[in-house]
Structure 1
Amino acid sequence: MPEHRVGTREEFEAARQELLVEEKQLTRRSDELARKRQELPWVPVERDYGFETEHGTKSLAELFDGRSQLLVYHFMFGPQYEAGCPVCSSIADTLDANAVHLKARDVTLICSSRAPIDKLLAYRERMGWSFPWVSTVGSDFHRDLGFLHTEEELRPFLEGEIPAAESRLAEATGTDVLGYVTEGPGLSAYALADGTPFLTYVTTARGLEPAMAYYGLLDRAPMGRQEEEGEEILWLRRHDEYGTT
């Protein structure tokens, strides 16, 4: 345990009240940003995407499953992967638990990947999840949103020093670094109006942290995230692998 300032309860309460003022400011700013997200212009999805599901091929509009809103988590599980990305798997743990609550607010939550549907469903069973998972094999759905990259686009990254995190995650998914980073994580949101789906929001990278509930909790633990720069995701494992490595 590192050295840390020790004080009285009175000193703690005074410092805590000062921090609370800033936390409330951040909350109000977050509310403002949420309003601005909802005010973004909607873009009609004109391409006729097809998705393989456990119940056959479906269109994007059919993925709403009778609701007016749809959230899609773009899960890194490429055709060459033997298993899903451990980081995306940690996110899916949070998504699965929240899907039922989102349904109560007219929102359908699904995951989308490029691996064949049978491989996705087998991995879902291993992980104990129940959310709908669709395959985009043969579709440009992920590419059009910026979550699928070509080798040419990745060349500057591949010709540099490969971070340890990418190497470990590639190994954990059963592919090489190129195969791993070809895929990208992301979240896209849609509204359905008069049978037409509209793209309403897209995010990736740290924009996905709201779906990584453990980070919000670690930020409130005494030692925080305990991550060195460049090693942020080295500690993450699939939930059935902790204690095995």
Structure 2
Amino acid sequence: MATVHSLAAVALLAILCSHGTLASDADLLQDFCVVDKTSQGRLHANGFPCKDAKDVIADDFFFSGLHMAGNTTNKQGSNVTNVNVAQVPGLNTMGISLARVDYASNGLNTPHTHPRATEILTVLEGSLYVGFVTSNPESKLFAKVLNKGDVFVFPQGLIHFQFNHGTSNAVALVALSSQNPGVITVGNAVFGSKPSILDGILAKAFQVDKNIIDRIQAQF
């Protein structure tokens, strides 16, 4: 009987380990897999073809420009300068990326989610009111005012935002746990999809008149 229990425990452990392996990225089998933008590479990792190692150069791991302020003259009063695998092909398979976010006074990085990454934000200049909302049914808001040097974490997949409630510009540096975290802006997704979600559906979802939905959709 003890032997049977031991075998069952080993089998259960094997299943758990297998599930854990499937739920995370595989370990790299080479030093790097720089994206081959010409799509001529024969080795693929995470959907991108790899350059031949002999053709890789230092600039494949390089980006310049985060010292430059982004243009915040838009409706939201904010600008995101991304540094992910699209800008740095050497980030492929590395599982990290970052971004600079600039905010004008009263600027807003509108509610959004990153489906593939946790985000950690550091305020470099100014003051921000930030927060995220937990999943249903609690939908609890965790929010805090951040000042220069403060850090805040937004869990993967949860809706979050940043708002500059100060009178001067603000700047934040963001790190993300994915080479390509993705972004879903709530307003754009709901009211600006192509083709549009039927106004009757949105009116029912938000419990408002269709005319209100039509006016909101016109903004996107």
TM-score greater than 0.5 by the shorter chain:
no
TM-score w.r.t. length of structure 2: 0.24
Higher alpha-carbon Rg: 2
More strand as a share of residues: 2
TM-score w.r.t. length of structure 1: 0.23
